[in-house]
Structure 1
Amino acid sequence: MKKIIYIIVIFSFFQIINGQTKRDPRVVGLSGAYTTIAEGIFCVGYNPALITRAHDKPFMLQVYQSDRGFLGNFFSIENVAQFSGDTLNNKEKDQLFDNFEDGGGVSFFQDRHLPIPFLNYSKGNIALTSNFVMVNNFKIPIGLLELVFYGNGGKPDLDMTLNLEILGVNEFGYTFGIPFESISFGVTLKYLQGLFYMGIDPDSSSANIITSDIGLYGGGKYLIRQGIGGKGFGLDLGIVTREINGWTFGASMINVFGTIEWNKPSGMKDFLESYPEIFGGFYPFKWGGRTVQDDEAILYTYNIDTLRADNLNQDSLFTNKTEFIKDTLANGNPKIFETRYPALFRFGFSRKMPTYVIASDLVAGFQDKYYARAKWRWSVGLEWTKMESFPLRVGYSWSGADLKELSMGFGYRKGPIIWDFGFAFRNGTWLHTMKGFNLSTGITLTSLGGWKTSSDKDSDNKGLKGLIKKLIKNRVKKAIDSK
């Protein structure tokens, strides 16, 4: 029994993540504590008001970013050692099931985020950003796990509704800030260019299993819809205080509103067909080996007819049917529907000292969807800046026993080059407890004098510029003395 459950967990509970939405190497190293310390283009998606901190700094241009990770909520060296054996006792079953219940069921999540090179730029109080996002989310309901773990004696009615969503979108943002004497405001206006979508319609889908003394029965219906080409708009709002004695406070609301309307007229169908290698594995959608046409939806139904120990050999107890139906309006055009871009609330503060910066954030989502969780997440990060060109970072975040993270990172800042690296132990705090990891690196360009204000550059006596200034000063002094 234990080995069967172990195999199910290994193959079903892993989540593969390739760059979570709106993340860069510095925030990885700080475990998400970013609401009051993000810089330049990297404030987008965290707190747009921080763009006002760059009003007297040079431009920032993102050249390249790579973010690769792996995430699960069960498999770790510690859990493998703890649950190895032949059988599970009641305490171990309860412990495992509690872990699954916290995750809402067995889920698979794949997320790819790519800041488009050379299309993310900021100068002064303005930032222009462009990000390509692909999300693939699949969740098996907790009711099925409850049936496997406890049989039909736990609950008489088990919810068996699946969740499936595949989404591709380009997110274009225009960010501007409005500074005042003691406080600043920021806004990001987003255009959401929908590429493709496929998912189970929650309003038209349901499934359950009834467990009783006479047997097990139930049924389900899933309507799986798709959208090719869409558009929508989003809005981020932020606020940040002026730095007072090193202290800064800020808050933001990401995606105050953000929806995408699918199947509206666009040239996306032609684009997807012209570049199939870019979207391989996502589009065109296939079901049961058959390609789903653009004007079709999938209706899957099944029925379980009183399953008992004495009739397991009957073939007619379980029946299912898959239909490809036309999902169009009366005029033949595909039906238009909306998907919601999840909102996030962020609050944070930071303290800047001569040799380090410490920051802390509280973040909450309003629904369990894509990158958002409907619970609070606390994070704290420390950046050591004693070596100005080689900052070191460490961070920790906690959002319940099933979501904790220890991270670290460093950077290199010399002249126009800003290079950052971040690594995080996901859902764990060290090698033997981590259930995944995140590895992120990126290169950004700025002016030859570095990401500094004009006054900081004038007072900077380090490096080649400092040497030249010293030589000029000595030459001027000699010229004056000779007179």
Structure 2
Amino acid sequence: MIFFFIIMSILVSQNYNDARMLGLGGAYTTLSNGYRAVGINPANINTGTDWTANAFSSSSSFSNNFLTIERYNQINGAHFDNPLASSYYPKNNIKNILKGEGVKLKFNSINSIPGLNFSKNNYAFTSNIFLYGEIKFPQAFVDIFFFGNEVGKELDMAFTQNSIATFETGFSYCKKFEEFNVGISAKILQGIYYSNMEQLGNAFFKTDTTAFLGSGNYLIKQGLGGFGYGLDFGFSTKEFENGIKIGASLINAFSSMQWNKNTALRNGFESIGVEFPVREKEYFFFNFRVDSLNAQQLLTSTPEDMFVTDTYRVSILNFNDIPIINVAGIDQSELPLFFIDSSDQTSQIQSSNEAKIESDKILLLDDGRVVVPTDNLIDSEMNLFNSIPFKTDYPTLLRFGASKNFYEEDMLVAFDISTGLDQTFTNEEKWKVSIGTEINKNPKIPIRIGTTLGGDDRYRFCIGSGYSFGNLKLDFGYAYIGSFKSSRARGVDVALNFFYDYVESNDEENIFLKRLKDFFSNIINVFRFEKKN
């Protein structure tokens, strides 16, 4: 049982683009600068720096919606049925914690391409790989595992899965005005891989007085080579005399990606002989059935007979695209592979060649789509289906932020509020508040403390630090998810940054000008001396 929950313990949530941002709890709208402002607030690209370049950057997050170290210790070796036992743990606690949502797992990571993230004055170029994975096991698994099969209760077998890998390239520019900056980023979104499991209709498992019943259908979408565009907009004021600065940004506005198109990535792999499990117009279809399984069958049947599963490749088309034919007087060989007989009152979709397409595997969905098996079709026969690229939204985020620099105390405080404008991947349509502090008593070793409040994770406790080797800087950050105590945290965020940051010094410029002036003064004095002699 403990192994079951350990397997359930990998999940991700909010994005933290770099280690300094993580250490500040996400309060970064006014503090990001250089190439690190891209994806946060492009108006800050030229703030406090003249040139930045990335050497290494990675940010990842891991969490889950149940397991903590404290709960692990409570469940490990616990007695679930005897309230008098010293190790008793009420099973209902598990159900109350999960709130009927099942066990959730996610994964997220942002990795910068070394050397391909840099900024110079008002311009920036960035290249990052984004990885995300999410899986949700139905509450029915937990109910059956801990409470058994309640007679007459229909258990929901809803199962979801999403994963995506994208390569994001951004071109950014900011414009400095007298009192404020504005910035924009134009992004090219190159999809590497996408997978999604869609539940078709109702999926359930039920125990009645005489037998077990259950069924479920799932469509697994897979995409290789997506493509899309995105825009970031940013605004920030200059730092006022009292040390306060204000900013706002809209990230990934109007962003989406289309998959299952003839992209350069897919065509490139196919040209070198790489074979994919599904063709351009195909998906995987999975179903399970438990039909009137009783005690006698449990004793005499094999597992394959009791729990029937089937997986095959399919294509999808609209019901209106199915040809309607009067088959009277038409030779069987002249019929299309699938059709509707106009004389059939039921409008049932039929196959003219059961060896190619099995009629009982053709499925009409509630939304008017038709699932047709394609395992036995050759490539030329796939032309019967239209290529229907599917679209995925890209997470859009709205941020507002403010910060205050306390110069006498060598400290700054930042405050952000943010919300997702959709439910895509890591996004939540819930407001979050981030508060962070950076202490620079030792200029080489900053100390960062922050917290994020709100969203499904409720709160985070974040810490971070770093070391300055002059223009080369190292930052790292760490956070507990769901608690301020490590024993109650449901996961962690980790981030590491190593980058180059160059700022032109006014002192160096003044020294250079003074030396240049002295040089020419000496030359003039030499000429004057020679003229007198």
What TM-score, normalized to structure 2? 0.72
Q: Select which of 35, 41, 56 maps to 1:41.
A: 35
Post-superposition CA distance 1:419-445 (Å, at most 9, x none): 212222333323323333333222111
Please give the root-mean-square deviation of Cα atoms over the aligned residues, in Å.
3.6
Q: Which residue number corresponds to residue 26 of structure 1?
A: 20
The 1-side partners of 2:275 and 2:78 are apart by 43
Residues 355-364 or 19-28, more deviating: 19-28
Q: 1:62 to 1:216 in 2, by over 3 A?
A: same
The 2-side partners of 1:98 and 1:232 are apart by 41
Aligned 8 A contact 1:21 1:133 in 2: no
Read off the aligned partner of 1:262 and give its amino acid letter. Answer: W
Q: Select which of 233, 237, 241 maps to 2:237.
A: 241
Aligned 8 A contact 1:300 1:323 in 2: yes
Q: Which residue number corresponds to residue 100 of structure 1?
A: 98
Report deviation, 1:362: 2.2
Whether 2:42 is the aligned partner of 1:53: answer no
Q: Select which of 298, 302, 311 maps to 2:288.
A: 302
Could you say which structure has the larger radius of gyration? 2
Equivalent positions of 1:194-343 (< 5 A) are 194-201=191-198, 204=200, 206-210=202-206, 216-244=212-240, 245-269=242-266, 271-272=268-269, 291-293=277-279, 295-306=281-292, 312-313=298-299, 315=301, 316-326=305-315, 330=383, 334-343=387-396
Q: Which residue number corresponds to residue 123 of structure 1?
A: 120
The 2-side partners of 1:140 and 1:267 are apart by 35
The 2-side partners of 1:94 and 1:377 are apart by 30
Read off the aligned partner of 2:19 and give its amino acid letter. Answer: P
Unmatched 5+ stretches in structure 2: 84-88, 318-381, 523-533
Q: Which residue number corresponds to residue 110 of structure 2?
A: 113
Read off the aligned partner of 2:196 and give its amino acid letter. Answer: G
Q: 1:271 to 1:65 in 2, by over 3 A?
A: farther
Residues 236-245 or 166-175, more deviating: 236-245
Q: Which residue number corresponds to residue 7 of structure 2?
A: 11
The 2-side partners of 1:119 and 1:417 are apart by 17
Post-superposition CA distance 1:93-151 (Å, at most 9, x none): 3332233238x432332333221111111122222111112223222123443454555
Read off the aligned partner of 1:94 and give its amino acid letter. Answer: N
Q: 1:389 to 1:216 in 2, by over 3 A?
A: same
Q: Which residue number corresponds to residue 162 of structure 2?
A: 165
SS of the residue 1:14 aligns to: coil
Q: 1:153 to 1:442 in 2, by over 3 A?
A: same
Q: 1:273 to 1:429 in 2, by over 3 A?
A: farther
The 1-side partners of 2:179 and 2:155 are apart by 55
Q: Which residue number corresponds to residue 440 of structure 1?
A: 495
Q: Which residue number corresponds to residue 458 of structure 1?
A: 506
Aligned 8 A contact 1:41 1:121 in 2: yes
SS of the residue 2:76 aligns to: coil
The 2-side partners of 1:11 and 1:415 are apart by 43
What TM-score, normalized to structure 1? 0.79
Q: Which residue number corresponds to residue 288 of structure 1?
A: none
The 2-side partners of 1:179 and 1:8 are apart by 55
Unmatched 5+ stretches in structure 1: 277-282, 286-290
The 2-side partners of 1:136 and 1:264 are apart by 22
SS of the residue 2:95 aligns to: helix
The 1-side partners of 2:132 and 2:275 are apart by 15
Report deviation, 1:199: 1.6
Name the count of aligned residue pairs: 442
Aligned 8 A contact 2:315 2:385 in 1: no
Equivalent positions of 1:332-481 (< 5 A) are 334-354=387-407, 355-399=410-454, 402-446=457-501, 450-451=502-503, 454=504, 457-459=505-507
Read off the aligned partner of 1:63 and give its amino acid letter. Answer: A
Post-superposition CA distance 1:180-218 (Å, at most 9, x none): 44443322221101122222245x565234566666533
Residues 208-217 or 44-53, more deviating: 208-217
Read off the aligned partner of 1:99 and give its amino acid letter. Answer: I
Aligned 8 A contact 2:169 2:189 in 1: yes
Q: Which residue number corresponds to residue 280 of structure 1?
A: none
The 1-side partners of 2:295 and 2:423 are apart by 38
The 2-side partners of 1:410 and 1:275 are apart by 46
Q: 1:230 to 1:402 in 2, by over 3 A?
A: closer
The 2-side partners of 1:107 and 1:389 are apart by 41
Report deviation, 1:262: 1.0
SS of the residue 2:189 aligns to: strand
The 1-side partners of 2:313 and 2:460 are apart by 43
The 1-side partners of 2:427 and 2:161 are apart by 16
